[in-house]
Amino acid sequence: MYLIITEKHIAAKRIAAILSPGKPKQVRVSGVDTYEFGTNAEKMVFMGLSGHIIGVDFPKAYNNWQKVDARLLISAEIISTPTHVKIISALKKLGKNATKITIATDYDREGELIGAEALEIIQKINPDVPFDRVHYSAITPKAINEAFENPVSVDFNLVDAGHSRQVIDLIWGAALTRYVSISAGRLGKMFLSVGRVQSPTLALIVDREKERDVFIPKPYWEIFATLSDKNMETFLTRHKTTRFWDKHEADCVLAKLSIGNNVVVSGVVKSKKIDKVPTPFNTTEFIGAASSIGLSASNSMRIAEILYTSGFISYPRTDNTVYPESVDLRAQIELFKASSFNQYAEQLLKKKKLVPTRGKKETTDHPPIFPASLAKKSELKEDEWKVYELIVRRFFATFADPAEWETMRVKFDINGEEFKVNGARLIVPGWRWYYPYNAPEDRLLPILHEGDILTVDRIEMIDKETNPPSRYGQGRLIRIMDELGLGTKATRHDILSKLYSRAYVHGNPLIPTKTAYAVVEALEEYASTITKSDMTSKLEEDMDRIADGSIRENDVIKESRDMLDSVFSELEKNKDDISESLRTGLREDKVVGTCKKCGSQLMVRRSKRGSRFIGCEGYPDCNFSLPLPKSGQVIVTDKLCEEHGLYHIRIITPGRRPWNLGCPNCNFIEWQAVKEAEKAKRPKTPRPKSITDIAGIGKVTVQKLADAGIMQVDDLVEADAFKLSKTTGITVKKIKSWQDSAL
């Protein structure tokens, strides 16, 4: 029996369908679906894994955060642990009788390691089974048949490089996360995640936000004139001094201008501008383009993975920006002649020679991202089609001609003051016809000649301020991570997802929370190595050297342990300062605003029973409070409610869209209004005559209330629920519900 192992179930199903002469038979083995055809010794069985089926971890003795010092994790033994018991069981059952194994996982560092994990499991029970490896960049009949006709060997250097990343990330992440979380007093689900790539990335976001925090806006003024020609066509011009930093100077210019002034066209310069053809998509460029059409980095990569495993696009994790000679580019374009893209395909196929653009990065593992087969809009979900169309159009654009613009720069004299305007008109669409995303609009002007006389229709002076540096959007941040060597094409979007899930950031562009500030500031001051890209990019380079066989895995892991040990030396010198810095910063992340009742701070707090609410620091003298949702992580944003002086709240729940709750006071008022409206719709019930008529109040409760001086229904209605709760031990929530039912 010939066993073929793929990285995922869908890949096994598709490859089996491609290689089978008929329809493969679906067979369940140990609860795992496999696909087979043929008989006896010639039978081929295709089995998909679920990514990594073996993980790395520390022995159980190291699991207790309180008893085992974080620094001990640096030198701790690393063990392998099974993560998918059913899949491992199926592998053993099939592998025991296999006469040949082919590893058909994705062709990259992670894929090589995943395949090697499966191979190692089989070799323990079938040590002499022959094995090989197939590489492919698209799950299409042509690519798969070529791959199986040209098998290669498993690259164990690449396996070691992938394994070294797992080990290094585990050691750094576990040791630093434990140390920082304990220092901050944040354990359990609220632990503070720190990582080799995550922390330098978070530092980029926080440092940019600090630049915004200290930015002092500088006022300036702009002067505009709306002009009209003899045909009454109007257009806007700006004074040649684009920004006046002196208000007096701007006022002097404005005083010389008035509606009805004659305007002389003092200069006209026409020229042409060439818009260069874009290069093919690699992962970083694809994520940036997908971000510009409204998709997050993680979502765009998730969709790209679906399109890849469905056979519609090539492998989406690639650094390459040069199409290899092995890809028949004309044939790929011809696929689209019978599709909704036919007019674009036909136009390109008119070219005698198809010469695509070449980017700066050329690698040999995978081609740039391109459409591998034809998909119909009806076959895909809305977002999937959106991504597929983006990739198709980018592919077409790389073969197109440059776009050409006609530009016109015109100067005007208005009573001795020079005004200017620039016009532009797309005269040769070129590649922009194929790829219309983010295209600049034409700036059309009337036909103007030097010496023409026009009229001033309107004069306007606008006061403005300089803006702080812009925050990083996901696409831009991933480009910066790429430039700095932070993470890899396969991991960068996951790093951003982790920052969101840990409530370090929210929104897009990314806004850091006070928790992010606290962690980054503590690390930058007392262990700056963790927040800089130098160390992690050095380790990334070393992992590449493992892959090409020039350095051993054990040497790189030892080097990383030594680096981390020196980091801990710095941390432990400043243990108390780090703890104080973290705890102070984390407290700020809970401040929602100022209590209008007493002037104290309102904070996100927890009751003795664990429920969350916004409470006043002036308690028990001030009992002002506001409710919060039962689940999800509470993020206090920097948006302030002008009416109540409270910061808006955002609720983050894994697997769901963030909920912008807004101002908690406005939200509470709205909730009360809805509740009152619902109450008004319900049939009215008679007011209880005695306390015992209220549902939920029995003999024991009556006695508790009596001991607190509550004898009549009116006594209960008029009582302070918080004070009564303290006296009787009955929850505030219950007392308030009784008061509501007694009204």
Question: If one looks up domain 283-397 in CATH, what number appears?
Answer: 1.10.290.10
The H helix count followed by the E strand count for the chain is 24, 23
Instruction: Assign 219 a pLDDT band (cuts: 50, 70, 90).
Output: very high
Rounded Cα gap, residues 54 and 51, in angstroms = 9
Q: What SS3 class is residue 584?
A: helix
**Residues 11 and 48: beta-carbon distance below 8 Å:** yes
Give the pLDDT of residue 231: 85
CATH second-level architecture of 2-49+84-154? Answer: 3-Layer(aba) Sandwich (3.40)
Mean pLDDT taken over the chain? 92
**Residues 603 and 615: beta-carbon distance below 8 Å:** yes
Contacts of 171 (CB under 8 A, 6+ apart): 73, 74, 76, 78, 560, 561, 564
Give the pLDDT of residue 658: 82
User: Model confidence over 416-427: pLDDT tens digits?
Assistant: 999 999 999 999
Fold of 691-742: DNA polymerase; domain 1 (1.10.150)
Chain-centroid distance of CA 340 in Å reads: 31
Give the pLDDT of residue 40: 74
Structural tokens at position 211: 């630049």
Among candidate residues 62, 179, 315, 647, the one labeled active-site is 315
User: Model confidence over 9-42: pLDDT tens digits?
Assistant: 999 999 999 999 989 999 999 999 999 998 877 8
Q: Is the pLDDT of residue 187 over 80?
A: no
Instruction: Assign 681 a pLDDT band (cuts: 50, 70, 90).
Output: confident
- What is the percent of the chain where pLDDT is above 70? 99
User: Model confidence over 489-501: pLDDT tens digits?
Assistant: 888 999 999 998 8
Contacts of 446 (CB under 8 A, 6+ apart): 229, 231, 233, 235
Give the single-character DSSP code of 7: S
Give the pLDDT of residue 596: 86
**Residues 472 and 212: beta-carbon distance below 8 Å:** no
Q: What are phi and psi of 656, to 5 degrees?
A: -125, 160
Is residue 315 flagged as an active site residue?
yes
* Every domain of the chain and the residues it spans: 2-49+84-154, 164-213+496-582, 219-277+403-465, 283-397, 590-681, 691-742
CATH second-level architecture of 164-213+496-582? Answer: Orthogonal Bundle (1.10)
Start-to-end C-alpha separation, the chain: 78
Average pLDDT over residues 372-379: 94
Rounded Cα gap, residues 389 and 349, in angstroms = 19
Question: If one looks up domain 219-277+403-465 in CATH, what number appears?
Answer: 2.70.20.10
Rounded Cα gap, residues 498 and 733, in angstroms = 36
Please name the helix (run of DSSP H) or strand (run of DSSP E) that holds residue 727, with its range, or none. Answer: helix 721-728
- 645 φ/ψ sector (left φ>0, alpha ψ -120 to 50, else beta): left
Average pLDDT over residues 478-493: 91
Instruction: Assign 674 a pLDDT band (cuts: 50, 70, 90).
Output: confident
Give the pLDDT of residue 693: 86
Residue 555: count of CB within 10 angstroms of its CB: 13
Q: What are phi and psi of 32, to 5 degrees?
A: -120, 130
| 219-277+403-465 and 283-397 agree in CATH topology | no
Instruction: Assign 630 a pLDDT band (cuts: 50, 70, 90).
Output: confident
Residue 117: count of CB within 10 angstroms of its CB: 25
Give the pLDDT of residue 740: 81
pTM of the model: 0.84
- What is the percent of the chain where pLDDT is above 90? 70
Give the pLDDT of residue 33: 95
Instruction: Evaluate the CA torsion angle 158, 161, 167, 170 in order and state its sign.
Output: negative
User: Model confidence over 578-597: pLDDT tens digits?
Assistant: 998 888 888 888 899 999 88
**Residues 492 and 478: beta-carbon distance below 8 Å:** yes
User: Model confidence over 246-287: pLDDT tens digits?
Assistant: 999 999 999 999 998 899 999 999 999 999 999 999 999 999
Q: Which residue has the higher pLDDT, 649 or 584?
A: 649
